[in-house]
Amino acid sequence: MGKRTEQEEFWKGDFGDEYIARNTKEWRITGCISFFREALSYTEKDSVKTICEFGANIGDNLLALKRINEGFGLYAVEINRKAFEILQSRDMGIEEARNCSIIESGYGDNSFDLTFTSGVLIHINPDTLYENVAKIVSASKRYVLINEYFSHQPTEVLYRGHEGKLFKRDFGSFLLDNFPGLSVVHYGFVWKMQNPSFDNTNWWLFEKGKSS
């Protein structure tokens, strides 16, 4: 195990524990279902059977996916121990969950039909962003979905009084620029006014091995 970044230690510790209390709301599941129904509608029918979320927290996104399709094989990676324990205790039939960072996750190439993050890449140290995204892309055999804050230029934002903990950018372009095997299937905007389960975020669905 390599040395963790200050951002990883931050989410592993007390702040990550406090995040759980602020964001544990049953009503969020309905909005998550709406988002994932739309994103998955752009995948080929019956092509997604296994899904891994990197940065799953307590598993609201995975629970929404299970309610969409009970047949999904779900996997999770979560660095915060408290969130990981809650995730494991919830009744959603997760195949496997790993309590570690994205880089430490150890999943091999082409392990899942779809890998995704939601509100996670914004908290990654920019110096290790490529390494983290490479693990997420590598673990997918077909689709990669990301849903994050957007900025035309890489921008650091003060996050609840903390510096160096939130970084916005055009993550879609970052993936296309650094992983030429990806092509865009679809993209969109999640408007908090219409879906309060999320902040105002942009999402991209990519496919591996297809020319743009």
Contact between 113 and 51 under an 8 Å Cβ cutoff? The reply is yes
Phi, psi of 53 (to 5 degrees): -100, 125
pLDDT digits (tens, 9 = 90+) for 36-66: 999 999 999 999 999 999 999 999 999 999 9
CB 162 within 8 A of CB 156: no
Tell me if 87 is assigned to some domain: yes
Q: The CATH number of the domain where 134 resides is what?
A: 3.40.50.150
Q: What pLDDT, on a 0 to 100 scale, did the predictor assign at position 211?
A: 43
Per-residue model confidence (pLDDT) at position 212: 37
- Name residues of the chain where pLDDT drops below 70: 1-3, 8-27, 195, 210-212
CA-wise closest residue to 195 among 15, 28, 19: 28
Q: Into how many domains does the chain fold?
A: 1
Residue 1 within a domain: no
Separation between Cα atoms, residue 23 and residue 140, nearest integer Å: 28
**How far apart are the C-alpha atoms of 127 and 202, rounded to whole Å?**
22
Confirm whether 67 is domain-assigned.
Answer: yes
202: which strand partners? 148, 189
In a domain, 120, yes or no: yes
| pTM to 2 decimal places | 0.88
Q: Residue 102 has what DSSP assignment? A: T
Indicate the pairing of strand 96-98 with strand 73-77: parallel
CA–CA gap between residue 199 and residue 126 (Å, rounded): 21
Q: Is residue 140 part of a domain?
A: yes
Give a yes or no: residue 57 inside a domain: yes
97, 84 contact by CB (below 8 A)? yes
Where b means 16+ CB within 10 Å and e means fewer, 150-162 reads bbeeeeeeeeeee
Residue 29: give the domain boundaries.
Answer: 6-208
Q: What is the pLDDT of residue 199?
A: 81
162 in a structural domain = yes
Task: Name beta bridge partners: 174.
Answer: none
Helix (H, G, I), strand (E, B) or coil at 174: helix
Q: At what angle do helices 60-68 and 28-40 cross, to 10 degrees?
A: 60
Task: Assess if residue 169 is contained within a domain.
Answer: yes
The span from the CA of 194 to the CA of 75, in Å, is: 29
pLDDT of residue 95: 96
